[in-house]
């Protein structure tokens, strides 16, 4: 035999707290008051759902007034212009950094070549001095 525990409470319900606490008169007619509260809650939920549906419908362009549509188009244009403007600033800064890094790389390459030549000259001088001493 299998035993299961099923809870048919409402969302947010807490143990030991009754639905009728806000309305003490509901204790007298518990079942009737519970049914009334349930009906009120259901109609409240239905009203909320209807408001959400109306908001979604209102957001569609075919249901907008001319003024709402103009405001939306204006806002969209402003956002596009801002993106283009900030992209231009970023690309200009990016170009400057790329030029600076290119120049720095060239300077470092020249310095590394000069250092290599200096080390080679030093080694040749050391070899020629060692050859003179041994002869």
Tens digit of pLDDT at every position of the chain (135 positions): 688 877 666 666 667 666 655 555 545 555 565 666 667 666 777 777 777 776 665 567 777 788 888 988 899 899 888 888 877 776 777 788 888 888 899 989 999 999 999 999 999 988 888 877 776
Nearest 5°: the CA angle 47, 48, 54 is 90
Are 25 and 33 a contacting pair, CB within 8 Å? yes
> How high is the pLDDT of residue 117?
93
> How high is the pLDDT of residue 49?
75
This model's pTM is above 0.85: no
CA distance linking residue 90 with residue 83, whole number of Å: 11
> How high is the pLDDT of residue 44?
72
Say which DSSP state 16 is in: T
CA–chain centroid gap for 35, Å, is 44
- In sequence order, what DSSP letters do the residues of 63-77 get, joined into one string? GS-HHHHHHHHHHHH
Q: Who's near 72: CB < 8 A, 6+ residues apart?
A: 61, 64
CA–chain centroid gap for 43, Å, is 36
CA distance linking residue 132 with residue 34, whole number of Å: 115
> How high is the pLDDT of residue 18?
61
């Amino acid at each position: 035999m299998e035993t299961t525990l099923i809870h048919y409470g409402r969302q947010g319900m807490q143990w030991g707290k009754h639905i009728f606490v806000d309305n003490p008169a509901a204790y007298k007619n518990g079942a009737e008051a519970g049914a009334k509260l349930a009906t009120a809650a259901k109609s409240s939920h239905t009203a909320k759902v209807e408001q959400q549906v109306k908001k979604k419908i209102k957001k569609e362009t075919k249901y907008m007034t001319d003024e709402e549509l103009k405001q939306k188009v204006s806002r969209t244009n402003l956002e596009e212009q801002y993106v283009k403007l900030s992209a231009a600033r970023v690309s200009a800064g990016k170009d400057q950094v790329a030029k600076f890094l290119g120049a720095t790389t060239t300077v470092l390459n020249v310095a590394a070549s000069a250092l290599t030549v200096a080390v080679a000259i030093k080694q040749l001088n050391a070899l020629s001095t060692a050859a003179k001493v041994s002869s």
